[in-house]
Amino acid sequence: MSIAERAAMAAVDWGTTRLRIWLLDADGNVLGERRSDEGLMTVGPGPDRFGPVLEAHLGALGAPAGLAAVVCGMAGARQGWVEAPYVSTPASVGAIADGAVAVPGARRPVYILPGVAQRSPDAPDVMRGEETQIAGIARDLAGRERLVCLPGTHSKWVHTKDAAIAGYRTFLTGELFSLLADHSILRDTLGDARRVAPDSPAFRDALLQTLRDPAALSARLFSIRAGGLLNGLSAGDAAATLSGLLIGTEIASATAALDAGDAGSVILLASGPLGALYAKALTLGGITVEIADADGAARAGLLAAARHLGILSHHDRGTA
């Protein structure tokens, strides 16, 4: 069969800064892929440009007319394509798929999945996109409590009970790293150094120090600057120290804040260099890590939602 014949759906992860589109067959095999920087920040605000951008990419992939697309991420935000109102915690995989909103007037069936809101007065929180990755690893989460770490600009730590999202916390770790590296007094000390190797001794030292005393983050940031002035701290070690401080604070806080005592090991839903850095950090912290691929989880979650919605194309080979 040709790609057009085999294609069962388009799976779309439309985030703040990135757009990723996969053409999938009915078993979730990848027939084609597109990645671009046309995230919400570029395409939005307002709905006008989402449809044409999606059609251009699907055209390039050879997707047949009428093939359904399922979208997760910021495209469903109020300032996105069509708002898909948040589902509240505790949020099951089924409840998330049931919250899908069909885009009116689109050139093909397009469904946007909702995010998940934690409507706690103490710890209000929102996510859009990560819930679909969680749904994609539902099989690994069945029957027990788990703690899932999704590192990034806004890292999420998700506490699941029997594959439903029970609660979660967001950490500004990646954004704080960029702000401090690019715009703060630490800028001169870090220079152009941004990449941190997982085996960096400076990363390890800062991480372990912070895990022992997570409240001291604020006091330790300026020490990076002073270490550059007084001790000749190199740019690379300064970046590694900053990363260790921020990731250490995140891990200490997340494992303390999320009451998931029975969760056992942490599932790290990540990919690339950041995944390797978090795997090392969690291991240094004495935490057992299971690694799952973030892209694969997003595709699996979008496929599961399409099945739940009954919109896979007729080439669907009939998986329940």
Query: Which one, 147 or 303, has the nearer CB to a second copy?
Result: 147
Q: Out of 1, 2, 105, 121, which residue is the one contacting a second copy (CB under 8 A)?
A: 121
CA atoms within a 13 Å half-sphere pointing along the CA-CB vector of 310: 1
Query: Which one, 169 or 308, has the nearer CB to a second copy?
Result: 169
Query: Which one, 28 or 167, has the nearer CB to a second copy?
Result: 167
142 near a second copy, judged by CB under 8 A: no
Query: Which one, 106 or 117, has the nearer CB to a second copy?
Result: 117
Q: Out of 176, 260, 304, 312, which residue is the one contacting a second copy (CB under 8 A)?
A: 176
Measure the CA dihedral 155/161/164/170, to 10°: -20
Distance from C-alpha of 31 to C-alpha of 2, rounded to nearest angstrom? 10
> Is residue 49 helix, strand or coil?
coil
185 near a second copy, judged by CB under 8 A: yes
- Minimum distance of a second copy from residue 81's CB (angstroms): 18
42 near a second copy, judged by CB under 8 A: no
36 near a second copy, judged by CB under 8 A: no
Distance from C-alpha of 285 to C-alpha of 27, rounded to nearest angstrom? 38
Containing 102, the helix (H) or strand (E) segment is strand 101-102
Bridge-based pairing of strands 9-14 and 19-24 is: antiparallel
Alpha helix (H) residue ranges in 128-262: 130-136, 138-141, 173-183, 187-190, 201-212, 217-231, 235-257
118 near a second copy, judged by CB under 8 A: yes
Residues making contact with a second copy (CB under 8 A): 86, 117-119, 121, 123-126, 154, 169-173, 175-176, 179-180, 183-185, 214-223, 225-227, 229-231, 246, 249-250, 252-254, 256-257
